[in-house]
Amino acid sequence: MNLFLLSAGLGTRLKPITNRIPKPLISILGVPMIQYPLSFFANIGFSEAVVNTFHLKTCFNNIISETVIPIRINEEKILMGTAGGLKNSEYLFSKNEPIVVMNGDIFYNINFKPVLEYYKTVENPLALMVLKPNKNGNVRVTKKSSNFFNKNRETSSFFDENERYFISKLRDKESTFFDSNSDSYLFTGLQIISSDIFNFLVDEPSCIVETYMNLIESKRLYAYIDYSDSYWSDIGTLESYWRTSMDFLNNSNIYSGFMGDLVNKSLQKQSEAIKNLKLEVYNSFIGKDISIPKKSVLKNAILLDGFKSEETIFENGVGFENQFFKFNHI
């Protein structure tokens, strides 16, 4: 089975950080974001990944030798989008094998093995989208029969190999089998895609969700609904990046199962810097080569590599270069 991490986007909502660093390489607790999904999938048996790049693509050359599993990079000449990026990377995948696809700006610690097992049971799939319940979500599903709600206590997800959930509405596109009384779900950015999908893709800029909208009547688009308490975060804005970092600082269980060693090494380096600068640090993280006054106070703050400031108090925000971006208290 193939693994594909979508990593080519411009990251416009994470500016100004993404003016200098591509989004997948922004660090969380000192570890580049892309290492988290790579470690997650390595932990369940994946041995390599394909990564598409475009924005600041040469930056990825600096991390190739450091990734927890090997990555094969497809450099896009123009920004291809999610569907175009998949098609453009087709030559790097093992033929006739499904592809696990994950957005490069999400963190998700789902128990993925039941998803893989479920995928093996569905009939003639084009894609299996992993969803979470969300009243504001723009995905709806229709179940093939009524036997689905048998709760698997171990995974805290609903799974029954005799049941199927079809995607019946995506955004504003409704299928003929759409049930207006069905619940709403959020697409997590994680999915398993059949190699058959390449028959419906073109090697030009395009969106995978829009492709699915055109295929919604096929009943080949399936859903796996994650009702568990797994941690999911879309790290698409400065504020969501800050809040995710705060979650990590407050609860190491979010990542410790597959990232503990890498993060612990980073935290040890931070401790040395804090000691040298005699900082007062509360629920915060500082990167490398920080230049701030000694005895400064940090509370719920993330200071990225190279941050410089003459201020002495940093609270509830993210520091990058010479700017500190503040947010509401957690």
The string of DSSP letters for 156-207 reads TEE--TT--EEEEEETTEE-TT--TTSPEEEEEEEEEE-GGGGGG--SSS--
pLDDT digits (tens, 9 = 90+) for 183-208: 999 999 999 999 999 999 999 999 99
Question: In the chain, pLDDT over 70 holds for what percent of residues?
Answer: 94
CATH of the domain at 57: 3.90.550.10
| Calpha distance 43→264 (Å, rounded) | 17
Q: Which residue has the tokens 């407050």?
A: 250
User: Is residue 86 a contact partner of residue 193, using CB atoms and an 8 Å limit?
Assistant: yes
Domain count, the chain: 2
Same domain, 124 and 199: yes
pLDDT digits (tens, 9 = 90+) for 63-104: 988 899 999 999 999 999 999 999 999 999 999 999 999 998
Same domain, 206 and 166: yes
Question: End of a domain among 234, 260, 286?
Answer: 234
Same domain, 57 and 192: yes
Residue 150 has pLDDT above 50, yes or no: no
Residue 168 has pLDDT above 50, yes or no: yes
pLDDT at 181: 84
Going by pLDDT thresholds of 50, 70 and 90, the confidence category of residue 151 is very low
pLDDT at 145: 61
